[in-house]
């Protein structure tokens, strides 16, 4: 965690509201998914980890029903004010839709959030990069409200309510992976999550002599405005057609072998490719965890590479920016594996790189990307962090 970010959050609160005495300073991480992409809303498995990058926020209860929000990452928006009585799905198109949605969802479930609050946030997650800055904000808000109002909400329920807020209040047809990882992150572990029933296992990440490098295309994406919702709908169509010939609740209930047996029930070739990716990706995720537990890091890297090919060709959510980063990475010695991570349509790749090769990776991949795409990529060597936390009582 960053001392600079903590100070920035405190100054943002003081400059826009008042002295934060009686409030609290909170943190919630971002996340990167190591493998298992676009499986979470298809009832499959994912394998993400929380990061030490994230969102910092100062929250302080008020004596009335007013809600005031400020983000040091979007100072041009200024302070946004509303009240507990004005919350309604679709009301806001600002960044505040995320915390508003969380509060609205908690109220709709009967939790006693009986006064408003002021919140000021900042973060070191690059927005629109696919590192779950929005889920980080969701869970930060849910965690802070739980702590401020003494609500009886389990950690995994923070994720469930955050997902519901994104789906119902913000209009994003996302799965639960991002919110669950942020809420349940464990330092130096990845989370092997079955999204169909939320059973999970924390698996140690033994990357001795290796680093996780995130490469940011700097092509911003928006899950609401992109084709993400279209992919979600295409998977729903594939599921409905498969259900005419086989008894399943989710696409990822099928093994690759079963998919090959029943795939002709899907009428459109494009829809068939979407289903193929989800089902084969789920199998890759399960195999990746097995080889990682066995200490076969190169086998894990090979599966990462296969996953990128699938998400590029069958799911078609990469584009030249992400494909360039991945292809250039694989040209270098010391790169174990590389793939797109997140929703796609911009965002980042995640690579496992031998520690001694990181600087060459940054230079050569960066130079090749700038030459081909025309603007620079950014690179982050990240650490695996834990879940949300109270950093300071003010």
Which residue bears the tokens 């399960």? 286
User: Can you tell me the distance from the alpha carbon of 92 to that of 127, in angstroms, rounded to the nearest whole number?
Assistant: 18
Sign of the dihedral defined by the CA atoms of residues 343, 76, 158, 108, in that order: negative
User: Can you tell me the distance from the alpha carbon of 179 to that of 192, in angstroms, rounded to the nearest whole number?
Assistant: 14
Reading the block at residue 185, the tokens are: 């992150």
Residues 6+ apart with CB under 8 A from 274: 231, 234, 235, 238, 314, 315
Confirm whether 208 is a catalytic residue. Answer: no
Reading the block at residue 170, the tokens are: 């913000």
Sign of the dihedral defined by the CA atoms of residues 346, 380, 198, 146, in that order: negative
3-state secondary structure of 317: coil
Reading the block at residue 77, the tokens are: 């928006």
Q: Catalytic residue among 178, 253, 282, 314, which? A: 178
Length of the chain: 394
Reading the block at residue 303, the tokens are: 């599966």
What residues are annotated to the active site?
178
């Amino acid at each position: 965690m960053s001392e600079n970010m903590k100070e920035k959050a405190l100054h943002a609160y003081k400059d826009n509201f008042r002295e934060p005495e009686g409030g609290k300073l909170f943190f919630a991480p971002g996340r990167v998914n190591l493998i298992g992409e676009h499986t979470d809303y298809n009832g499959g498995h994912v394998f993400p980890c929380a990061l030490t990058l994230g969102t910092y926020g100062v929250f302080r209860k008020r004596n009335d029903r007013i809600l005031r929000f400020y983000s040091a990452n979007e100072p041009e928006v200024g302070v946004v004010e509303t009240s507990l009585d004005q919350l309604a799905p679709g009301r806001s198109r600002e960044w505040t839709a995320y915390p508003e949605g969380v509060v609205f969802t908690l109220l709709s479930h009967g939790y006693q959030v009986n006064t408003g609050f002021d919140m000021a946030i900042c973060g070191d997650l690059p927005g629109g990069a696919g590192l779950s800055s929005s889920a980080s904000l969701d869970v930060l808000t849910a965690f802070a409200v739980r702590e401020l109002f003494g609500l009886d909400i389990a950690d995994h329920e923070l994720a469930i309510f955050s997902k519901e807020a994104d789906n119902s209040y913000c209009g994003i047809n996302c799965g639960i992976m991002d919110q669950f990882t942020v809420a349940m992150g464990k330092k130096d572990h990845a989370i092997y999550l079955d999204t169909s029933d939320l059973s999970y296992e924390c698996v140690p990440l033994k990357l001795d002599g290796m680093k996780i490098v995130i490469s940011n295309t700097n092509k911003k994406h928006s899950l609401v405005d992109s084709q993400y919702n279209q992919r979600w709908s295409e998977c729903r169509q594939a599921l409905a057609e498969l259900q005419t010939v086989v008894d399943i609740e989710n696409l990822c209930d099928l093994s690759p072998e079963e998919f090959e047996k029943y795939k002709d029930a899907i009428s459109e070739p494009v829809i068939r490719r979407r289903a193929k990716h989800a089902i084969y990706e789920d199998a890759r995720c399960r195999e990746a965890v097995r080889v990682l537990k066995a200490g076969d890091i190169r086998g894990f890297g090979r599966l990462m590479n296969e996953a990128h090919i699938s998400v590029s060709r069958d799911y078609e959510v990469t584009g030249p920016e992400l494909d360039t980063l991945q292809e250039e990475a694989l040209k270098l010695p010391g790169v174990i594996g590389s793939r797109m991570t997140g929703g796609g349509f911009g965002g980042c790749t995640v690579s496992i790189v031998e520690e001694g090769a990181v600087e060459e990776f940054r230079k050569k991949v960066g130079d090749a990307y700038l030459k081909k795409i025309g603007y620079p990529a950014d690179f982050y060597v990240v650490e695996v962090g834990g879940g949300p936390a109270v950093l300071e009582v003010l």
